[in-house]
Each structure stands twice: as C-alpha cells, then as structure tokens.
Amino acid sequence: MEASVSSNDRSRITSGDELLVVEDLKKHFPVTRGIVFQKEVASVKAVDGVSFTVRSGETLGVVGESGCGKSTMARCVMRLLDPTGGKVIFDGRDITNLSRADMRPIRRELMMIFQDPFASLNARKRVGFIIAEALEVHKMGTAGENKRRVQELLEVVGLNPEHYNRFPHEFSGGQRQRIGVARALAVNPKLIVCDEPVSALDVSVQAQILNLLKDLQDQFGLTYIFIAHDLNVVRHISDRVLVMYLGKVAETAQRDQLYTEPKHPYTGALLSAVPIPNPAQGRARKPIVLQGDVPSPLNPPSACNFHPRCPRFQEGHCDVEPPQLYSFGEGHVAACHYPLEGWPLSEEEMRRPSGRAATAPSEQSAEPTPTT
Amino acid sequence: MALLEVNDLKTYFRTDDGIVKAVDGVNFTVEKGKTLGIVGESGCGKSVTCLTMMGLNNRRNTITSGEALFKGEDLLTMKPSKLRDVRGNDIAMIFQDPMTSLNPVHTIGRQLVEAIQLHRDVTTKAAKTRALELLKAVGIPRADRRIGDYPHQFSGGMRQRVMIAMALINDPDLLIADEPTTALDVTTQAQILELMNRLQREFGSAIILVTHDLGVVAETADDVVVMYAARVVENAPVENLFNRPHMPYTWGLLGSLPRLDADMERLTQIPGQPPSLLNPPRGCRFHPRCPYVMNVCKEKEPELQPISNDPAHLQACHLDEQTKDREAAKLLAGTLAEVS
C-alpha cells in the first residue's frame, strides 16, 4: 500500500494551499422556441450546483457517465463557457466574471488537454507552430527562444526534437496526445485540465500517456483535474475523486476511501460495473446492474436526481427531500439519505438500507456542507 | 465437431501503398454455446477476421485464403446466395456503433420487420408481433410504443439492445459481436453484457466477442484469442490465460492495465507502436517491442503451439518455458501481492 501512503502525504503537506475553489457552479443552457422572438422555454441544467476544491500539486479525478456534465464543468472552470451561477476562484482570485482582457494573463496558468488527439491539433500547422502558439500569444520570448523551448518540450514528452517541422498527420494517436501535452506545458501552467485524455487510445499507449502525466506532475509540480469515465484510470492517477451524476456531485473522497468504502449507491453501482481482468474474482462477484439510462438533464427527476434508478430508493423521502452532502470524515462527502453501510454489499443488502443517515445532516456532519 | 473452425485465414487488401496483410494466418475454433473472446489493440485484425468470415469485405480489393468451416461448410468459398442465407439466419453480427448501423430514416419497427421478412415468409402483422416480442426480450421498456420510434430517439444502450434484437431474429447459432460495448458507459455496458449472457443461456448461441477490454473478456469469455499484428499470439481457456499468460505481449497488455483489484504505482508500458501491416517486422512480429528479444526472434517466426503441460493453451513465442513461468508468476505477484 505504498501508493496510498504517498498520496496521503502529498495531500497533507499541501492542505490549505488551495489552488482552485469552485462554489455552487451552475451552467444552464437555454432551450428556445421561435425564430424572431426567441423565447426561453426550458433550460438544460448541465451543471447544477457543483462545489469542490483542488489543492496545489494534487490530482482531482472526475468520473461520471456521458452527459453528466463533467466536460461542461471543466469548460466553465476554464472560462471557455460562462457559468450561469456560482464562483470559480483560481489562485485566490475570483475569475468568474473577469472580462476577456483581464482573463488573458490568467489563461497562461490554466491549460487543457483534450480527448481526441485527431481533432484537437490543427492539421494545417506544423507541430512546432502548434506548441509555440501559446508562447507567442502570451509574448513569452523571441522566436529563437521559443524554438528552443519547443524542442525541449518535445524531448520532455518523449518525442524527437527533430519532429519540430512535421505535421500532425505524421504521428500516431499516442504521439499526437504527447503533442497535446507538450502544448499544454509550454507556458508553465499551474493547473492542467485533462478532459478524457486517454479514452481514445489503446491500452498499451494509454499506459504510456498515464505514466508521462505522472512523471510530469512529479517533475514540474503540476495540478491536474483529470476527467474520465474509466474508473480504473481515475483510480490510478488521482489523489481525490469526485463522482458526478446529472450535473451534481454524488460523492467526493480521497481516492482509497472512495474505492474501498463508497457511500453513494451510484458510486457503488459504478464500481461494481467495472469488469475486473481476473476471471476468478470477476465472476465471483455480482454486479449491481442499474436499470434504465441517465435521465435527461432537461427535466431531471425531483429531489435526489438518482432516485428513479437507485436500488435503495425510499418513496416519500428520496423523491421529496433533496439530499445534502453528508460528511463521512476526512473530506468524504456523499449526497444520499441512505448511504451504503459497507462495501461490497450483496444485492439484497443494497436494497435494504438501514436508514442510519436518514436523520438530519447536522447529526451526521461535524462541519455543515459543503465540506470540499 | 466444433461449430466454427477457422484455419489459416488470410485477408490481404490491395491498396495504393501496397498489400496490407490485415489478417495473416489466423486459426481458432468456436464450440457450440461457448463464448470466444478476441482481444488485441486497434489495427491488429480482429474486426477484419470477423468481416471476412461474414463475407463483408469489398471483393474488388481483397485477397482471401484459408478456410472458415461453419458446421463443416466453408464460408469463404460458399456461393453468395447461400452465404446470404447463412448470414442473419445462422450467423448474426452486432457492430460497435449502434447509431451508424441502424438506418436513421426508418423506424426501428420497420427495420426489424424487414429483417424478419427477409428470412421468413410471414405476413407483416406476424412479423410485427415477432419484432415486439424481441424488443421485450432485450428489455426495452414500453416496447409496444417504442416500436414506432426512430433510432435517434433511443439512447446508445437502447440502440445496442435494438441491434441485439435484430441479430436474434432467427435464433442464430453464432453471434459475432464486434466491440458491442465500447461506445457505452460502464453501467450500460454491464446491462448489455448481462443481457448477452442471459440470451446466450436462453437461446444457446455461441458468441464471438471482439473487444480490446481484457476486463470484459475475463468476465464473459470461455476461451480467449490474443491477436497482435494480424496473427494469433496466444489462445487459451480464459482461466489459463489470466492465471498463466505465456507470451510477452499478453504480459504487456495485462501490465499496462490500471485496475481496481491491484495497486500499481507505475504501469508497465509496452514501448513503441504496433507495426505497420504493409511491412511487418521479420521473424516474430512483436520482437521490436519485446523486452525479452533474442536473436532467433528476429529471424524465425514462432509457430502457434501448445505449452508442455496444457494442450489447450497455445502460444507463439520462442522464449523457453522456465523463463516464461517465472516471468508470468512475477507479473501476477506484482499485481496480486499489492491487493489490499
């Protein structure tokens, strides 16, 4: 258990050193009707009240199914989208309402790595230009200096510096993702948001990129928000994990806590659905198969938005009273009235909540929500 | 007799750059009612193997040789009209992307009815009843109303269920599923895999499951074929493959996988990229990336042969068995020892 010790150490050293604080972030996309007089008839609540903090030097993993708002949340944090409500505080400064001009110097500190290494590199530009573009935009050096910097970066990410003059199509998927990483590193950012950086890659290449990201973090003290739908990958790279469901936080905890003692039934279902590459172990357990699909964020279910699919749904409570984030100690919070008593649970136990946490949140949590 | 027996299957594509050997001498068998998992990275020829068996490659630029005996008859030399009959009747296929494999301008009901009437001489009304039955069997809620919906009105998981319903129309003996859950989320993936398992029990079909996810293979397959650069490098019953992998590429795949059941500070990475199939490396195709490479690997291509004490476990590697047992044990200890 070396890994867990070292990650705990890291978070202890840096606690209090909060690089990013997100409070009650909301992003609603309007749905309009009519051509001339566009009337807003509804809104898609893509992100609906998400709060979390990222400490300097740690990796926050964000998991959830497609359409749960993870990417929208990341884009709001990056100010690529303007949030509808809430606050984004980066490095002690509220950047939620900064103008484009005021935002520009801050953009240097916030970079992003995208999912699709084929679509995120301009096919008509040379690799050297793609990586140096941010340096030029931020006027960070002369042409000669930038060229040297780019070559250095290519080497850092494990590419040949002589590839400077090549076009993206000459590289394989994994190599392109390395170019994406080099581009994000160019301006020495503090925070890198990785939006599904390895989901388009094969396992052997995925391992190369994950190792690279870990090495770079050690080398340059980077902070990551790592978005993925693969729970194995998130477990491997994260210090803390945030589970999202339908625009809301379902659970947040230290990595090991989340994977060994999940509290939210959705986290439990996700964990039990991950196939284990070990036939004896994988077949012995019985996955909790959730019924149905993720509901539309246009018209989310009332109160706890997970209740129509939840195995421990209690009528008259879960669909009436929205759960707050109950605390389970050490920054472990989950939004559920009937948290899991242990893990793993059988299907039977899953359906029979003890209702221990069904009382008021004040009894459960020393510090009122939201805690992280 | 095995349900399907593939012998020395080769599929070459003529392209402007030369001949791409997409499948180059593949052997495997599928037993009745069993599931065979085919794993490998993109471009290793797993999908092309399936398409070749179904006769779905473009004939104009494809060179095919070898044989694929289905119930004793060779699919590759079968007359097109006969093959058409087998396809959809005895062998059905599910594709990766359920959006592009359904026709967006017809309702799913119409598409199901069409598929039923192609193979059976029934009235539209009877076909519709059958379609409804199938949609219910694959767990589509309110099937009687959803039957008139268009594919875009369904979610990814639901579309894949429709595809499975369509594949099951004639109770096929063999179902080929090409990455059926790759485009889906984990919870939906669990639903679809459970559905496929249940249907296999009910209908007794054999399944060829093509995937790149070793986890999915471990949980669903009975036998596993590992492919690398158009060749089979290892073929074994699932327990044996995961408990005693016998080929450096399989070790690499297992080691590069972040997993829930083990703590690994660093993933083992396989250096480099898979080779181009236009001009694959001489000798063993894995040798440029193999950490155990010997001189013989660069010259002589290893044959697929059984390991000494397990005739069902085939592998293609020159490395001696003692070393392999030692390394495999080390790999497994590395992942298992740290299980908390």
Q: What is the pLDDT of residues B35-88, one digit of tens each?
A: 999 999 888 999 999 999 998 888 889 999 999 999 999 999 999 899 988 988
> Cβ contacts (< 8 Å) between A4 and chain B: which residues?
263, 340
Q: Alpha-carbon distance A121 to A131, whole Å?
A: 10
Q: Among B331, B335, B129, B151, which Cα is nearest to B244's?
A: B331
Number of Cβ within 10 Å of residue A93's Cβ equals 11
Phi first, then psi, for residue A137 (nearest 5°) are -60, -40
Residues 6+ apart with CB under 8 A from B143: B132, B135, B136
**B270 in contact with A at a CB cutoff of 8 Å?**
yes
Other C-beta atoms within 10 Å of B82: how many? Answer: 11
Instruction: Decide if B265 touches A, using CB distance below 8 A.
Output: yes
Radius of gyration of the CA atoms of chain A, in A: 22
pLDDT of residue B334: 67
Q: Please say whether the beta carbons of A333 and A327 come within 8 A.
A: yes
Instruction: Choose the mutation target among B152, B179, B187, B290 for the interface with A, i.e. most A CBs under 10 Å.
Output: B187
Q: Please name which of A295, A328, A325, A326 lies closest in space to residue A310, comparing C-alpha atoms.
A: A295
Q: Please judge whether B260 and A205 are an interchain contact, meaning their C-beta atoms are less than 8 angstroms apart.
A: no
CB contact under 8 A, B259 and A232: yes
What are the residues whose beta carbons fall under 8 Å from the beta carbon of A78, sequence distance 6 or more?
A110, A112, A193
Tell which of B46, B152, B185, B224 to mutate to test the A interface (max A CBs under 10 Å). B185
Closest partner CB to A270 (pick from B42, B187, B258): B187
**Chain B residues with beta carbon closer than 8 angstroms to that of A290:** 187, 190-191
* Closest residue, chain A, to B224 (C-alpha): A279
Give the C-alpha separation, B250 to B289, whole Å.
12
Q: Using the 8-state DSSP alphabet, how is residue A276 labeled?
A: P
Best of B41, B153, B269 to disrupt the A interface by mutation (most A CBs within 10 Å)? B269
Nearest by CB to residue B218, choosing from A3, A65, A282, is: A282
Interface contact B189, partner A, CB < 8 A? yes
Candidates A6, A10, A170, A203: best to mutate against B (most CBs of B within 10 A) is A203
Q: What is the DSSP letter of A260?
A: H
Beta bridge partners of A161: none
Report pLDDT for A4.
Answer: 40
Q: Does B215 contact A at CB distance below 8 Å?
A: yes
Quick check: B267 and A259 CB within 8 A?
Answer: no
DSSP line for B23-69: EEEEEEEE-TT-EEEEE--TTSSHHHHHHHHTT-S-GGGEEEEEEEE
* Closest Cα in chain B, distance from residue A304 (Å): 19
Which residue, among B186, B216, B269, would best test binding to A if mutated, counting the most A CBs under 10 Å from its CB?
B186
Write down the pLDDT at residue B156.
85
CB atoms within 10 A of CB A6: 11
To the nearest whole Å, the CA of B61 is away from the closest chain A CA by 25
Picking from B186, B257, B263, the nearest residue to A203 by CB comes out as B257
CA distance, residue B340 to nearest chain A CA (Å): 7
CB atoms near residue B8 (< 10 Å): 11
Chain A contact present for B273, CB below 8 A: yes
pLDDT score for A356: 56
For testing contact with chain B, the best of A257, A278, A291, A294 (most B CBs within 10 A): A278
Does residue B338 have a pLDDT over 60?
no
Are A117 and A177 within 8 A, CB to CB?
yes
Largest CA distance in chain B: 68
Q: Is A1's CB within 8 Å of B256's CB?
A: no
CB contact under 8 A, A276 and B191: no
Q: Where are the domains of chain A?
A: 261-364
> Does residue B131 surpass a pLDDT of 50?
yes
d(CA A82, CA A270): 30
Angle at CA A82, nearest 5°, toward A179 and A132? Answer: 25
pLDDT the model gives residue A118: 84
Structure tokens at A217: 């973090």
Q: CA of A110, closest CA in chain B: separation in Å?
A: 26
Closest CB to B41: pick one of A204, A233, A283. A204
B153 touches chain A (CB under 8 A): no
* B258 inside 8 A of chain A by CB: yes
Q: Does B333 touch chain A (CB under 8 A)?
A: no
Burial classification of residue B71, based on how many CB atoms lie within 10 Å of its CB (0-12 exposed, 13-18 middle, 19 or more buried): middle
Q: Touching check for B257 and chain A: CB below 8 Å?
A: yes
B307 forms beta bridges with B310
Residue of B194, B268, B270 with shortest CB distance to A289: B194
Interface contacts (A, B; CB < 8 Å):
139
Q: Which two tokens stand for residue A90?
A: 């980066």
* Strand-pair partners of A22: A52, A88
- Interface check for B8 against chain A (CB to CB < 8 A): the answer is no
**In angstroms, rounded to a whole number, what is the distance separating the alpha carbons of residues A257 and B340?**
12
AA identity, residue A232: N
Q: What is the pLDDT along chain A (372 residues), one digit of tens a residue?
A: 333 434 444 333 344 588 999 999 999 998 888 877 788 888 889 999 999 999 999 999 999 888 889 999 999 999 999 999 999 999 999 999 999 999 999 999 999 999 888 889 999 999 999 999 999 998 888 989 999 999 999 999 989 998 889 999 989 888 999 999 999 999 999 999 999 999 888 888 899 999 999 999 999 999 999 999 889 999 999 999 999 999 999 999 999 999 999 999 999 999 988 888 888 888 887 778 888 778 888 888 888 999 999 988 888 888 899 998 999 988 899 999 999 988 888 878 888 877 555 444 433 344 444 444
Q: Which two tokens stand for residue A109?
A: 């500190």
Task: Answer positive or negative: Cα dihedral of A120, A124, A126, A129.
Answer: negative
Q: Mind listing the domains of chain B with CATH numbers? A: 4-225 (3.40.50.300), 243-336 (no CATH)
Query: Which residues make Cβ contacts (< 8 Å) with residue B40, sequence separation at least 6?
Result: B46, B212, B226, B227, B228
Across the interface, which of B42, B157, B268 has its CB nearest the CB of A207?
B268
B41–A172 CB contact, under 8 Å: no
At what angle are helices A143-156 and A173-185 packed, to 10 degrees?
A: 130
Q: Output b/e per residue, B147-177; b: 16+ Cβ within 10 A.
A: bebbbeebbbbbbbbbbbbbbbbbebbbbbb
Helix A173-185 with A203-220: angle, nearest 10 deg: 20
B322 touches chain A (CB under 8 A): no
Backbone angles phi, psi at A74, to 5 degrees: -65, -40
Q: Which residues of A touch B217 (CB under 8 A)?
A: 277
Neighboring chain B residues of A237 at a CB cutoff of 8 Å: 258
So what's the pLDDT on residue A179? 94
- The string of pLDDT tens digits covering residues B252-288 is 898 888 887 777 778 888 888 888 888 889 999 999 9
* CA dist., res. A114 & res. A176, Å (int): 11
Distance in Å, alpha carbon of B223 to nearest chain A alpha carbon: 11
Instruction: Decide if A288 contacts A350 (C-beta within 8 A).
Output: yes
Let me know if A12 is exposed, middle or buried by CB neighbors in 10 A (0-12, 13-18, 19+).
exposed
* A142–chain B nearest CA distance, Å: 34
> Which strand ranges, in their side-by-side order, compose the sheet holding A326-327?
A110-113, A191-195, A223-227, A59-63, A240-245, A248-254, A333-334, A326-327
Is A206 in Cβ contact with B41 (below 8 Å)?
A: no
Non-local (6+) Cβ contacts of A134 within 8 A are A108, A111, A183, A186, A187
Cβ distance B20 to B278 under 8 Å? Answer: yes
